Amino acid sequence: MEEIEKYKEVFEKAKKVLEFSEKLVKPGVNIIEIAEKIESKILELGSKPAFPVNIGINEIAAHYTPSIKDDKKIGEDDLVKIDIGLHVEGIIGDFAFSFSENKEDREMIKVAKMAVEEAGKILRENVKIKEISATIESFVEKTGFKIVRNLTGHLLDKYVVHGISIPNVRNENNIALKKGQALAIEVFVTKGEGWVKEGSQTEIYQFKKDVGVRNIDGKKILKMAEKDFEGLPFAKRWIKEIPQTRLEIALKELVEKGGLIGYPVLKEVSKAKVAQWEESFVIE
């Protein structure tokens, strides 16, 4: 199938970006420098970001991308998650890895990675989502770590990053995978409660629908969200044409009116560190 070959090509590009990214992540480096270099690499390879590079440190599990003047640097004992999505004409690859120089953290990262690998071994036509989920939970529960229960893997579709969820815990979802179906197995592991909640900061948004706004900035953002960013998630820092104060006001209004979806930062509820691993697959 032509679609399968397209996904394979995109996944190869994503793996090149991952190799490039792994060399950037080390203590003392500013995270905005990492994000911008990775996003530039994605463009250099003839692809586009499917979403802003997510850089989650310690208890921050997902949806954190640096703000335009972010001065955060990676600390010596930090557990860092790098989540990368890219696409070519809407065909998406979604991958993530974690980094730490802490011995216990590295063990947790290893568990997340191996859980993804175990799930990968059973992927085939007609395998059910519940079988994938059970495989992941069965593996992790033997290790002494906990799965973050309200974060999941997901099906991929054209211009759709998060399709139907693939939970990392047992469930009764009987949906079976089809030939040519693309999916991302995404596992989050912790020693904490195993649950995330929304924080107060939002740096990532996505087009939802065109709504009537009088604000000129709002109209401009909606047009960019739908056309320039192709309806995919985008970072607040990508919009440089509008001063920050006005940008904040316009984004808030667009979310309230239902034109945009905002993705608040997600943090582990007990503030425990979280490790993440993710790989994309296509069913042949």
Which active-site residues does the annotation give? 83, 94, 154, 162, 186, 278
Nearest CA-CA partner of 225 in 211, 205, 240: 205
Q: Which of 6, 260, 53 is nearest to 158 (CA)?
A: 6
Beta-carbon neighbour count of residue 215 at 10 Å? 14
Burial class (CB in 10 A: 0-12, 13-18, 19+), 69: exposed
Measured between alpha carbons, how far is 181 from 58 in angstroms, rounded to an integer?
Answer: 33
**CB-facing half-sphere around the CA of 166: CA atoms within 13 A:** 34
- The residue with tokens 């586009």 is 48
Helices 129-140, 103-121: axis angle to 10 degrees equals 150
Q: Could you give the 3-state DSSP secondary structure of residue 164?
A: coil
Angle at the Cα of 178 (from 207 to 129), degrees rounded to 5? 75
Residue 121 CB neighbour total at 10 angstroms: 8
The set of residues, in sequence order, having a beta carbon less than 8 Å from that of 256 and lying 6+ positions away, is none
CB neighbourhood size of 200 (10 A) = 6
